[in-house]
Structures are given as C-alpha cells and as structure tokens.
Amino acid sequence: MRNAHRVETVRAAEAALMARLPEGALMQRAAAGLAAACCSLLGRVYGARVVLLVGSGDNGGDTLYAGARLARRGAGVTAVPLGARVHEAGLAALRAAGGRVSDDPFEALAAADLVLDGITGIGGRGGLRPEAVPVARAARGSDAVVVAVDLPSGIDADTGEVSGEALRADATVTFGTYKPGLLIDPAREYAGAVRLVDIGLGATLPSVPDMEALQHEDVARLLPVPFASSDKYRRGVVGVVAGSARYPGAAVLAVAGALRGGAGAVRYVGPATDAVLARFPETLVHPGPPEKAGRVQAWVAGPGLGDEPGVAEVLASDVPVLLDADGLRDLSPEAVRGRAAPTLLTPHAGEAAALLGVERAEVEAHRLWAVRELTARFGATVLLKGSTTLVADPDGAPVRANPTGTPWLATAGSGDVLSGLAGSLLAAGLPARDAASAAAYLHGLAARLTSATATPVTATDVAATLPRAWSDVTTV
C-alpha cells in the first residue's frame, strides 16, 4: 500500500520524532536520501552541473545539504536563492563543500544537467510566486533533469490542486510519506516519478493514513478466489441493466467487464439481449424488468441505458447496486440514502458536476473535494473517474487514488467495462470501496498492458486484456 498523509499529520509526526533525535537529524536523513536519488538519476556525479533553486524554508535547507553532498562527490553545484531568507546552515555547508551561489538563475540553468526544486515544500501556500515563475519555466525548458524536493513547488500538498503555476518535475523525491497531492491530479502530473525516502517517520505517523493507493499485492489480496465447493451462485451473480436500442454496445461492454470480474454468472436485463448473446453466449439474459429476472448478488445499472427503465427497480432491491452513466442522471440523494445495502456511484467529471450542480472544470480542479462531497451527499461509495480515479467511502475510510490510470482510457465505452467489472466484484462479495478500487486498478492496468506498444486502445481491447491484468496482479 502506498500511504499518504496530510501536512498537518506530517508536521505532528515530525515534531514527535524530532523530540527523540539530535537537532538537524531529520534534515540530514532527508538530504542524504535526496542526494542518493540524484546520484542514481545522474549516473556520473563527478563533473555534473547541478543547480539548486532555493526558497526561504526547510525545503531549501534539504536542497542545500543535498547539494553539499553532491559537491563533495565532485559535482559543480550552484545555488540560486529565490526567497527573502535562506537556510543559513545549509548554505554554509554548501559553500564549505565547494558549492557557489549565483543570482542569475537563467545563466545557471542554461548549462545544468540536474535541477533541484527546493523553492517550497509542505510549507508552500498557493502557486509559485511571480518571481519564481520564469525560473521554473526556464528549468522546465532546459535540458536538465528536474527533481522536485518533497513535492513540486506550487502544488497543494493536501488536495492536489494547483492554483496558478507550479514547477513541472521529471521526478519527485518525497520524505517520510507520500503527500495526497502527489497522488491526485492535476498536481500528480507535475511530480513525475515519485520516490519515497524513509526518514524514520513511520514510527510516529498514525497507522491509518489520510489517503492511500493500492499496489499489486493489495489488489491480489482483494480479488476473489473460487473454492473447490464454489458453484456459480456462491461465486455471485451480477445483474447488468444496460443498453438501449440506441446504445446496444454499452450493454455488450458492461457484460464484457462483468464476465471478467470473478462473479460466477452474469445476468443481462434489457433490450440488447441479441447483441449480448451474439458476443457472449455464456450470459443469462432476460428482457426485464429486473425484479423478474432472477436472483443476483449485485446490480449494475446505467451504461447506455438512455431512457429505458430499471434504475428505480434495482435501487429498490436489497443487494449492492452500482450506478453509472444514465443511471446517474437526475439521481436524487434520497433515492440512495435510504438503501440498506451498499450503493456505488461511478461518475466521470461531467456526471459528477451535474450531480453536484457545478461546472465540470470545478470538479476537475478539485477532485478530492468533489468525490468527498458526493459521498457525503449521497451516503454512497463514489468512484470518480478521470486522470486519477478516486474512491471515497461514506464511513470515512482513507480516500483511495488509483495509480494505474493512463490517458488511453479516455475512450468510448471504457467506463461501461469498468462498471461491469466493479459490479462483478461487488457480486463476488467485495465491500463497495474494495470492489471500486480493485476494479479501477485492473482496468487501468489492462489499458496500460494493451497500450504498451503506444497504440490507441479500444474499450473492447481493455475488456479482453482484463484476464492478463488479473494474472499480472495475482502472480507476483
């Protein structure tokens, strides 16, 4: 599991740990880890030209001490102070190691092999200040590898929001724990590849994080495994209410996802029975209504449904329900809040915006807020699809960010596959939060595996690659 903690939590853990350690020990641990990461990125340190962008706080201090370590190994290190103050002890260490200070960032950046962004860390507020903006752009425009220290300056560590400009890094070396902003877009995109440096903070951080991201081994533990005695009903039957005369393909894709999600059987209910059977003869089909279709352990309703009925009927059932696409249209919180069984909503940003009564851009800029707000209003588990898919639960468990997304997933029908897959995991008995986050993980991984050759993927490809993703996760 990749855990993330908010600034307030990090500060409290840092204070508790510092009380047990000699002064400056944590900063030295951070600087040592940062310098080691820089060495591996550089390959050859001796003779490398390193530029330090140094703000006024301890983030600048980490950067200066790491620069001193690189200078001692033969790198040519130039610090560019950008704040009103500078970490004096760090600066003295850099000078003692042979580093120099310049007030011309542009000249220094033009020749740099590596740039360390130490403008702001967890103490930063708002985007980059105007004087830092051209410097950050010059760093990005140079040939150097840009490494953000703790986090890219200008992003919001707690929310992943970016107001104004932030520095775009190739890699981020973060200390002690991930910060939520490193997992959530738009900020996540600015961080590049993130490395975590252990500074011993685990000893004083709370065991329940503020946010988390599943990894292969976590998903492997969640996925259902059939027993010798399992029959199709014990493995779970998922009912899919999807498709319409206009969108029969959505039914086929949702069923395709459901068939690969571990349920023992998929029951399709709706007008697209011929299309579904032609593609997947193993499907149990029924023209509807859902309550007449036979027993299921979970319902998926909405993909391509248009104005077809079925949503109210499945909401009236006593089994878990996943609502997607047309199933979310005009959905009232009351229709969901009163349910005894879990409900999982899977909107994309546009659908989330409609449910919240805000603009789509508002949701995209404030994804964590949007998913939490939907969860609170509907009393349901919410999977907010997008560049980073987020899953929030009404019981207040840490929000999960999906780490396997890829822009290739922004393709027609991909959401239909995801809803079938998540519904199938619900029917197999996973709690809604686990079903949603495991499905998002497998779905993203399948798209990545499909697009490994950098070719566009279709939703059909993604569905067909789900078994490979499943096996990739479970055979570690």
Ligand X SMILES: NC(=O)C1=CN([C@@H]2O[C@H](COP(=O)(O)OP(=O)(O)OC[C@H]3O[C@@H](n4cnc5c(N)ncnc54)[C@H](OP(=O)(O)O)[C@@H]3O)[C@@H](O)[C@H]2O)[C@@H](O)CC1
Decide which of K ion, ligand X, none touches 14; Cβ closer than 5 to 8 Å per partner kind: ligand X
Query: Smallest distance, Å, CB 19 to ligand X?
Result: 12
Decide which of ligand X, K ion, none touches 128; Cβ closer than 5 to 8 Å per partner kind: ligand X
Between 132 and 139, whose beta carbon lies closer to ligand X?
132
Decide which of ligand X, K ion, none touches 202; Cβ closer than 5 to 8 Å per partner kind: none
Q: Which are the contacts of 40, defined by CB distance < 8 A and separation ≥ 6?
A: none
Between 121 and 304, whose beta carbon lies closer to ligand X?
121
Show the tokens assigned to 399: 């929000």
Q: How many beta carbons lie within 10 A of that of residue 361, not counting itself?
A: 10
Amino acid at 421: L
Query: Smallest distance, Å, CB 34 to ligand X?
Result: 9
Between 14 and 113, whose beta carbon lies closer to ligand X?
14
Decide which of ligand X, K ion, none touches 123; Cβ closer than 5 to 8 Å per partner kind: ligand X
Between 62 and 416, whose beta carbon lies closer to ligand X?
62
Between 61 and 236, whose beta carbon lies closer to ligand X?
61
Between 149 and 296, whose beta carbon lies closer to K ion?
149
Enumerate the β-bridge partners of residue 175. Answer: 197
Decide which of K ion, ligand X, none touches 117; Cβ closer than 5 to 8 Å per partner kind: K ion
Contacts with ligand X, residue ranges (CB under 6 A): 10-11, 14, 26-27, 30, 55-60, 62, 83-84, 119-126, 128-129, 132, 149-150, 175-176, 199, 201
Query: Smallest distance, Å, CB 83 to ligand X?
Result: 5
Q: Outline where 126-247 has alpha helix (H).
A: 133-141, 187-191, 216-222, 232-235
Decide which of ligand X, K ion, none touches 28; Cβ closer than 5 to 8 Å per partner kind: none
Decide which of K ion, ligand X, none touches 408; Cβ closer than 5 to 8 Å per partner kind: none
Query: Smallest distance, Å, CB 223 to K ion?
Result: 37
Name the residue whose CB lies closest to ligand X. Answer: 121
Enumerate the β-bridge partners of residue 96. Answer: none
- Residue 241, φ and ψ in degrees, nearest 5: -105, 100
Query: Smallest distance, Å, CB 61 to K ion?
Result: 12
What is d(CA 210, CA 231) in angstroms, rounded to the nearest whole number?
39
Contacts with K ion, residue ranges (CB under 5 A): 117, 148-149, 153
Query: Smallest distance, Å, CB 29 to ligand X?
Result: 7
Show the tokens assigned to 394: 């009404």
Between 62 and 373, whose beta carbon lies closer to ligand X?
62
The angle formed by the CA atoms of residues 85, 151 and 66, to the nearest 5 degrees, is 60
Residue labelled with tokens 């503020």: 210
- The helix-helix angle for 248-259 and 459-474 (nearest 10°) equals 10
Enumerate the β-bridge partners of residue 149. Answer: 173
User: Which DSSP letter does residue 79 get?
Assistant: E
CA 293 to chain centre: 37
Query: Which residue, among 53, 59, 47, has the nearest Cα to 138 in the 3D structure?
Result: 53
Do the beta carbons of residue 82 and residue 102 sit within 8 Å?
no
